[in-house]
Amino acid sequence: MPFSSLGLSPALLSTLVEQNYTKPTPIQETSIPAILSKKDVLGIAKTGSGKTAAYVLPILMNLQQSVLVKNRQANVLVLVPTRELAEQVKDIFKIFSKALPQPVKTLAVYGGVSINPQMMALQGVNVLVATPGRLLELLDANSVQLSAIETLVLDEADKMLNLGFKEEMNKILAFLPEKRQNILFSATLSTDLENINQILLHYPVVIKIADDELSLDLINQVAYIVSPEKKGPFLRHLISQQKMKQVLVFASSVQQVDAIVNKLCKNKIDAKSIHSKKSHGNRTDTLTLFKAGKLRVLVATDLMGRGIDINFLPFVINYELPRSPKDYVHRIGRTGRADAPGEAISLVSPDELHHFEVIQKKMGKKVEIRETEL
């Protein structure tokens, strides 16, 4: 089914062409018509499935029919767990707002940066993308009103619950008008999420995209057995031998991430890190460099890796396995996005082999395991 049969306007269709979105992903095919007809939607879909555009496009369409207020009364609220995701969602809204006849102003607000510029920028905002804590601060300061919200989106709702935002979300819900459209996206359906769904959603259209319809089939997975002390040299060998130009490497701790970057740089392989001990500015700069293809290796911890959304990232390497199988799928999901295949390589030490079996079982996919000469 082409985008043109989903009820989107010519302005949006032309931006879709410009952005090389040739055909809707499964989640887009189902969500767009449901959201356009103002239904509540529960989408079970991971990053990489095209879920952001699945709600951004119909929301922008619907906003074109609304009388947009010019003060501090946002029309649409998108709650997200991390500032990186807030920036990404804002960017997608901005890209697709460009050609619209009625201008739409989108702003992302999140903690860890100064609040004053955000307070000023809230004037005239239509779409507010926010992390819960900072939004509450702005509400306390009376810098924004939520009484005109027509649509609420909870993106990566499962992560918001994992990161303990439930109480904050409840406080925010109390500021919203009762009559509104609710859209909830989550990678998994947990009991917690079921509870939220029951409070929030009104006869929702439930859309579940089977895992293998997502990006797993687009990812070539391979694992190498490497002892911990050989992982450094083997990583360098892989990067050079496979002529990797852009690779995201995951490690378990901040210290390990820094150690990997140091070693790579000493061996003249251009690398930078992204983790919670880095300032927001530093993280944004590093991500921008990496996204622009000007940084060869980005090394990250899980939490920071979550929000990284890069088009056509060709390689992901697990320097160590994550503890949770879910995190494994999340990590490798950075490659093989929407329409582009990618390669996920895991460096598994002999004592991680058992854990790797568990991960493969949970994921429902066997991974080819290769011995190494090193």
Contacts to ligand AMP by CB under 6 A: 21-22, 24-25, 28, 47-53, 309, 311, 337-339
| Shortest spacing between CB 287 and ligand AMP, in angstroms | 13
- Of 155 and 320, the one with the shorter C-beta distance to ligand AMP is 155
Residue 73, Cβ neighbours under 10 Å: how many? 18
| Shortest spacing between CB 291 and ligand AMP, in angstroms | 10
- Of 125 and 338, the one with the shorter C-beta distance to ligand AMP is 338
Q: In angstroms, rounded to a whole number, what is the distance separating the alpha carbons of residues 86 and 242?
A: 34
- Of 213 and 339, the one with the shorter C-beta distance to ligand AMP is 339
Contact 89, 129 (CB under 8 A): yes
- Of 31 and 256, the one with the shorter C-beta distance to ligand AMP is 31
| Shortest spacing between CB 354 and ligand AMP, in angstroms | 32
Q: In angstroms, rounded to a whole number, what is the distance separating the alpha carbons of residues 80 and 78?
A: 6
CA 64 to chain centre: 26
Over the Cα atoms of the chain, what is R_g?
A: 21
| Shortest spacing between CB 157 and ligand AMP, in angstroms | 14
- Of 219 and 338, the one with the shorter C-beta distance to ligand AMP is 338
Q: In angstroms, rounded to a whole number, what is the distance separating the alpha carbons of residues 144 and 107?
A: 12
Which of helix, strand or coil describes residue 98?
A: coil
Report DSSP state, residue 68: -
Residue 251 neighbours by CB under 8 Å, 6+ apart: 257, 260, 299, 300, 301, 319, 320
| Shortest spacing between CB 309 and ligand AMP, in angstroms | 5
